[in-house]
Amino acid sequence: MIQYDKENMRVFQSSLYKTTSAVIELDEAIVMTDPNWLPHEVDEIKAYVNQIRKDRALYIIYTHSDFDHIIGSGAFPDAKVIASQAFNENKQKDEAINKVHSFDQRYYLQRNYKPEYPLVDYVVSKDGQKLILGKSTLTFYLAPGHTNDGLFTIIEPAGIFLSGDYLSDVEFPFIFDSYLEYLKTMNKAKDIFSLHSISVHVPGHGHTTEDKTEMEDRLKFAQAYLDQLIDMKENMEEILKGRYIFFDGMKDIHVENQKLAFNEIKQIH
């Protein structure tokens, strides 16, 4: 389904996990994030891109290497791929594609393309790295924590913040890489809101927002959640259940977050 459609950006939302794929029209290029999930959803995204593309180059930003975010990669063989250095050097590339295959096998899904791990054309290796596309500037920030290869992208002058699997309104922080790195990435997100004039925020799961108060609330809650994992001053499960309607399906991740956070803190003391 189309979740957001305004001016130069359309955001598609999958039926699964409210996963998003943003398609952004620039003067010189089309920029897209993480084409996903189901075959007909990828086909819908591809049809729209073909409709608006004309003779412009297509860039795909992969926000991280979780299999649900790379599942549509083979549908856009001529796209130029942007991703982090850690994404490019991922030693579990075959495992990620095997997860795509297992998913399709489990649900009897057939695709009209072969899923492949994306080959990166433009590698982001440092914070503040920029890519100029005509009158637009893409500024990148490394964002480890959820996974080790996360990537934030700011598109200016449009003021678009593409955050991948951070700052969602439907998920609390999922820490699959590192608690301490996640903390740093949230501090980095705070700096991004100070350094850039953000007009619209697109998370990897959840709803696109133009509301700056909402953006601030998502960031503050993520930081508070990370602090509470260690302090345990409040009944965080009840807070999460009140805030996220799908918490019952995510409860195990919260428990694993706590274990990971305690283990990391223990190692540095």
Q: Tell me: the pLDDT tens digits for 114-165?
A: 999 999 999 999 999 999 999 999 999 999 999 999 999 999 999 999 999 9
Whole-number average pLDDT of the chain = 95
The pLDDT of residue 230 is 81
Distance (Å) of CA 108 to CA 13, 38, 114? 21, 11, 15
Residue 206 has pLDDT above 70, yes or no: yes
The β-bridge partners of 22 are 11
224 pLDDT band (50/70/90 cuts)? Answer: very high
The pLDDT of residue 27 is 92
* CB 202, CB 163: distance < 8 Å: yes
**Selected residue with higher pLDDT from 269 and 36:** 36
The pLDDT of residue 236 is 86
pLDDT tens, residue by residue, 180-190: 999 999 999 99
pLDDT tens, residue by residue, 163-181: 999 999 999 999 999 999 9
The pLDDT of residue 223 is 96
Read off the pLDDT of each residue in 23-50 and give the average, rounded to a whole number.
97
The pLDDT of residue 109 is 97
* CB 41, CB 109: distance < 8 Å: no
233 pLDDT band (50/70/90 cuts)? Answer: low
Query: Order of strands, edge to edge, in the sheet holding 200-203?
Result: 129-133, 136-142, 151-156, 160-164, 200-203
Read off the pLDDT of each residue in 222-245 and give the average, rounded to a whole number.
87
* Separation between Cα atoms, residue 93 and residue 65, nearest integer Å: 8
Distance (Å) of CA 34 to CA 13, 38, 67, 146, 263? 11, 12, 10, 16, 32
17 pLDDT band (50/70/90 cuts)? Answer: very high
7 pLDDT band (50/70/90 cuts)? Answer: confident
The pLDDT of residue 231 is 75
Residue 232 has pLDDT above 70, yes or no: no
Read off the pLDDT of each residue in 9-13 and give the average, rounded to a whole number.
98
The pLDDT of residue 267 is 83
Sign for the CA dihedral angle at 252, 163, 95, 68 comes to positive
* Separation between Cα atoms, residue 111 and residue 72, nearest integer Å: 9
